[in-house]
Amino acid sequence: MKSPFIWDKNSDQPYPIKDKVYKKRMRKKHIWDYIPLFLTNIIIFPLSVVLMSFFKGREVNEEGFYGMGVTLEKGEIQKELIEELGVKYLLVRMPLWEMDRVEEYVRFAQSFGEDKQILLNILQDREHIEDETLLIKDMTTIFDKFSPFVEEYQIGNAINRTKWGFFSMAEYMKWYQSIQTIRDDKYPNLKLIGSSVIDFEYHYTIRTLFNFFTIKYDALSSLLYVDRRGSPNNTQMGIFDTKNKINMLYVLARLSFKTTNKIYITEVNWPLSNTAPYAPTSELECVSEEVYAGFMKEYLQLVKKSGKIERVYWHQLIATGYGLVDDRGGIIRKTKAFEVYKQILKDRDANN
């Protein structure tokens, strides 16, 4: 990443932008996108609230429901841990600012074995947003190298956070459209997934689902965190607990012509107490390892019972501040949540 965008290796996300002059200038540049954002939401947001109890889910395929995020930097031990858990669906991040390491990422993704299905998460940076020629070159390289064994690609991540590089939803959709054109021209069998809005900020999701861009998501992705509310049963805006957030997301997918009704939750976790600077939030939102394990089980049960989410990728396997395994000091320590997750998958296998 290039300044003013700086990567925080402890929490595996960019730092908030500190250059306030740059941030203000970029927001002003994209201010006109607030008009379609506002107009679309005036209609779609209340309509989706009214309709969200009318659309029913379907029986979930438990074999394909559970996914796990893994990362190159956490090393070879992840293969052993993934086999222990019994996870078959993995999310691997591919940062565009690390194209010089693309071969490493290919080997890493392949190393988990042919029985694993990979969702490759394309992480954006400002350079690839502003330079379409560079984007086309590097995305063509990624598709060339990964397409022999990877079919699904999440295009972008946390697009409603300026620290991740986008300053409007229109800017994201134009970017997605460029990548979709590459796919349509040369790699028609690949699946592109978006729009990757983080948290319950569905006004941004609505903007990316109801518009005049010639885009289509082969599945709808959401980074549906509820950690700031505590328990998955706690509400936001009065009525939106996890269940109703999912209900509304499903309605939006059903109403939009821009996506199928296949939905992936591609990130979720809770921050862990006493793990600063690794925790991605303040200590106020952090929970103990025991509470984390309970919330995780509760969340997965709620989502699966809804019948409206195809897959949930837990974020992630090894991460001191929020993962299932703590690796501080080079020592691998499995948390209680790791054992709970493993038992969930054992129960799944026993029932199938």
Is residue 190 a contact partner of residue 231, using CB atoms and an 8 Å limit? Answer: no
pLDDT surpasses 90 at 38: yes
pLDDT surpasses 80 at 110: yes
Check residue 70 and give its pLDDT: 98
Cβ contacts of 315 within 8 Å, gap of 6 or more: 69, 91, 266, 267, 268, 269, 322, 323
62/268: higher pLDDT: 268
**Residue 129 CB-half CA count within 13 A:** 24
Q: Which helix (H) or strand (E) holds 96?
A: none
- What whole-number distance in Å separates Cα of residue 272 and Cα of residue 287? 5
Check residue 180 and give its pLDDT: 98
- Per DSSP (E only), the strands in the chain are 7-8, 13-14, 66-70, 89-95, 117-123, 152-155, 191-198, 219-223, 263-265, 311-314, 325-326, 333-334
Q: For residue range 291-348, list pLDDT tens digits in order.
A: 999 999 999 999 999 999 999 999 999 999 999 999 999 999 999 999 999 999 999 9
For residue 234, which of 192, 282, 285 has the smallest C-alpha distance? 285
Asked whether the bond before 316 is cis by omega within 30 degrees of 0, the reply is yes
Cβ contacts of 79 within 8 Å, gap of 6 or more: 111, 112, 113
Complete domains list, the chain, with CATH: 7-351 (3.20.20.80)
pLDDT surpasses 80 at 65: yes
Q: For residue range 202-261, list pLDDT tens digits in order.
A: 999 999 999 999 999 999 999 999 999 999 999 999 999 999 999 999 999 999 999 999
Mean pLDDT, the chain, as a whole number?
97
Check residue 328 and give its pLDDT: 95
Is residue 119 a contact partner of residue 90, using CB atoms and an 8 Å limit? Answer: yes
Torsion-angle region of 274 (φ positive above 0: left; ψ -120 to 50: alpha; else: beta): left
Check residue 351 and give its pLDDT: 83
Check residue 293 and give its pLDDT: 98
- What whole-number distance in Å separates Cα of residue 306 and Cα of residue 249? 12
pLDDT surpasses 90 at 51: yes
Check residue 308 and give its pLDDT: 97
For residue 276, which of 19, 25, 4, 11 has the smallest C-alpha distance? 11
Check residue 352 and give its pLDDT: 75
Q: For residue range 160-215, list pLDDT tens digits in order.
A: 999 999 999 999 999 999 999 999 999 999 999 999 999 999 999 999 999 999 99
According to DSSP, the β-strands at 89-95 and 263-265 are unpaired
pLDDT surpasses 90 at 114: yes
For the question of whether the overall pTM of this predicted structure is more than 0.85, the answer is yes
